[in-house]
Amino acid sequence: MFKIPMKEALKQIGQSMEIGELKVLSKGNPNVRGLETFFLIKEDINNHKKILDCPLPIQMNCKITEFSSGIFGMVLSISVSTPNIVSYVYWFNYYSGKHVECDLNNLIHQTRIPFILIDANNNINKESVYIENGLGPMCNIYTEVAKASGAWSNEQFEIDKAKYLCSHENKDYIRISMK
């Protein structure tokens, strides 16, 4: 099996990302040490130092939402405390692929979460931010709820998510979620 070095893989992933976007990914060898889920943030290079130098740079909030009968999403909102607060949002869709199940399982068990920063030119910052993982219980609940409700399609998830965002009462939340 051909393997791409991590740095090159992240650069390739970065090419498909926009500034201000967050992706959830896993790294490692499941046959040796297991996998670790990490968050990749593409951000302007001028914000990298601000993010890395803040004493409490990253705060996370998580919520499980039922969009329609039996379709659930888990939204992760991340705020980075630079002089101006920057927010990122990521929606977990349990049935969007095997990788999501793997990412959630990793987040249930790992003790910390690495944040890797990439700039507009897809250069990876040599420093990472690590925070204590408080997402484990929510990831576990979401996994159990999704399994109990049965599979849904990606298309139905995206349609229901869009309806939810358009009808949600908290306009600030919608603004953050819609980038």
pLDDT above 70 as % of the chain: 83
Identify the pLDDT of residue 168. Answer: 65
Residue 98 lies in a domain: yes
pLDDT category, 4, cuts 50, 70, 90? low
Distance CA 62, CA 109 (A): 17
Domain holding 142, by residue range, is 6-177
How high is the pLDDT of residue 47? 78
Please determine, for residue 175, whether its predicted confidence score (pLDDT) is greater than 50: no
Is 22 part of any domain?
yes
Q: SS3 of 168, please?
A: coil
Helix extents (H) in the chain? 6-15, 45-53, 98-109, 136-149, 154-167, 171-177
* Residue 1 domain-assigned (yes or no): no
**Tokens at 30, concatenated:** 């499941």
> pLDDT > 90: what percent of the chain?
39
| pTM as predicted | 0.81
CA–CA separation, 175 and 179 (whole Å): 7
Residue 76 in domain: yes
pLDDT digits (tens, 9 = 90+) for 22-73: 899 888 755 545 688 999 989 888 777 777 776 666 788 899 999 987 899 9
Residue 167, domain member (yes or no) = yes
Domains in the chain: how many in total?
1
DSSP 123: P
At 125, the pLDDT band (50, 70, 90 cuts) reads confident
Mind listing the pLDDT tens digit for each residue in 155-167?
Answer: 999 999 988 888 7
